[in-house]
Amino acid sequence: MNRGCMAWVTVCAMVSAACAEQPVIAVWPEGKTPLKTSDAPEKVNPSTDDIIRLTDVNVPSLTVFLAKDTGKPNPAVMICPGGGYGILAWNLEGTEIAAWLNSQGISAFILKYRVPGNRDGALCDAQRAMGLIRSQAQSLNIDPKRLGIMGFSAGAHLSVRTCTNFEKRFYEAVDEVDKQPSRPDFALIIYPAYLNRDGYAMAPELPVTAQVPPTFLVQAEDDNPYVDSSLAYYIALKTAKAPAELHLFPNGGHGYGLRKMGKTTDVWPELAAAWLSRVTK
């Protein structure tokens, strides 16, 4: 076996071990997944940059990271990792984010949504998952009225779709879980992609209204071509009179997660922590 194959096997083992350490909740009952396009087995793409990239995700799930028990229900966040709807950056924008949220006293649920190339299926996964978390709020010791969403890049697009499409499900109801609200109570949208069309017009699948939950946005000016995604969304939120806070930095690029890059975006976690403390009081 060559070194590349050995490294790939090692990463696969790391992912399996990490998942085994945390509870995992299936998003859909067996045989009930809507818009199913593939049965290919999940895999990890080879990597040389310390990013675990999952693909061929066809069995959506929530990986659970509960915050320390304080004697009362904790706020919670569902995390949508990015990856261009082709992969999921599982550690960079998933497990590392969950650990950070836990350090803020917030429980975290990483959504393993369907990739590649199934955006509508991913939306069904996100809507169902929000209701699923709320349906198990008591056993998970979380407050169902303080459940937010956090997304990165394509995962931020999925988060915005979830925030703007909560009036109806994009699938036929499966069970009692689907009677729970899918609207997040707050949202952190980090270097989002695909939100705009032709300058500052919003993409048609994102109907922004005053009912969109309070939103925290992070963007770097040198994040081409995605800087206009955040600007367009912020303008749309302000026009609709939906609460929003935008942090626009001179540099930072795209796809940094919590990792320090020596750029102006390095401070965003501290700003997000302060915002979270306000919206989850």
Residues 198, 169: Cα–Cα separation, whole Å = 28
Average pLDDT over the chain, rounded to an integer: 94
Which residues are CB-contacts of 74 (< 8 A; sequence separation ≥ 6)? Answer: 66, 67, 105, 106, 107, 141, 142, 143
Residues 254, 96: Cα–Cα separation, whole Å = 17
Model pLDDT for residues 128-176, shown as the tens digit of each residue: 999 999 999 999 999 999 999 999 999 999 999 999 999 999 999 999 9
* Residue 11: half-sphere exposure toward Cβ, Cα within 13 Å: 21
Model pLDDT for residues 38-63, shown as the tens digit of each residue: 999 999 999 999 999 999 999 999 99
Taking 90 as the threshold, does the pLDDT of residue 72 lie above it?
Answer: yes
Tokens 């299926």 correspond to 121
Q: Is 213 within 8 Å of 183 (Cβ atoms)?
A: yes
Q: Which of 128, 144, 140 is nearest to 177 (CA)?
A: 128
Domains and CATH numbers, the chain: 3-279 (3.40.50.1820)
With 0.85 as the threshold, say if the pTM is over it: yes
